[in-house]
Amino acid sequence: MSVRYKITSRDSLFSFLKSLMGDYQVYGPTENEGPVETSNEYKFDRIYSLDQIALRHPPHYDTAEKVFFP
User: Would the pTM of this model clear 0.75, i.e. be above it?
Assistant: no
Each of the 70 residues of the chain gets a pLDDT tens digit; together they read 677 878 889 999 999 999 999 999 999 888 877 665 555 677 888 999 999 998 886 665 566 677 667 6
Cα→Cα distances 58→19, 21, 24, 41, 69, Å: 26, 24, 26, 9, 22
For the chain, the domains span: 26-68
Which has the closest alpha carbon to 10: 51, 40, 64? Answer: 51
Which has the closest alpha carbon to 50: 13, 6, 24? Answer: 13
